[in-house]
Each structure stands twice: as structure tokens, then as C-alpha cells.
Amino acid sequence: MNLDELVEKIRAISADPEIRGVANQLTAWKDSSATADDLAMAMERYIGNIWIGSNQEHDRVYALWSAFRQGSIEVIRGMTMNERLYSFGLLERFDALQSDADRQALYAKLHAGGA
């Protein structure tokens, strides 16, 4: 499951504003300068500090997030750059980048050495 699929699955759980907030935070990360490790810390904090009305829905959100974190963030340093771009839904963005500085920023975001 990549980041875009995670967002879709979380949004499908409920219309609860707090659940929508989780999805929005995940989506907003793509446009920020935060790294994948920053995303992990921020989302753990965010999910831990919101009040979702249903325990079952909270458990579903956290299970989805945990699966993504374990399958993408915790193993990111063992991935190729293409795997990182796919996992975080950034393939098209990377292909559209014009400058080396923008590419380097995306490499840093995904904990890659760059080229």
C-alpha cells in the first residue's frame, strides 16, 4: 500500500472530522519539506492526540497507518529511489521536477543520497 492508497483507505473509514484530519495530514506531507522520519513522528503524535468517536474506527486508522509505517518508513533505507517514490506517491512529482535543487530536496525528503 502506498501513501495515496493509505489516504483513500483512511477516508473510506468514516466521515469523522478527526479521521479526515489524519488523511489531510498525510496528504499535506507531500508538499512539505518534512522527511519520511518526520512524517512517522508527526503522525504518531497526531493520531495519539485526537479523539475519534469510535474505538473501532480509531483502531482501523491506526492499523492502516502502522502497516504503512512498517512497510514503507521503517524500511525506507533499504529501498531503491523508485520504490521510495512509489511508496510515497511521488513518482509523477519527481518526473516533473526541473531543477537539480528540487531533485535534491526530494532525495533528502526520502532519505536518499541523491545523484
The helix or strand, by DSSP H or E, that contains position 3, with its residue range, turns out to be helix 3-13
Residue 114 lies in a domain: no
* Residue 113, pLDDT score: 79
Evaluated on CA atoms 51, 54, 59, 61, the torsion sign reads negative
Residue 115 lies in a domain: no
Number of folded domains in the chain? 1
Question: What is the residue-level pLDDT of the chain in tens, covering all 115 positions?
Answer: 999 999 999 999 999 999 999 999 999 999 999 999 999 999 999 999 999 999 999 999 999 999 999 999 999 999 999 999 999 999 999 999 999 999 999 999 999 975 4
Q: Which domain holds residue 89?
A: 3-109
What pTM did the predictor assign?
0.94
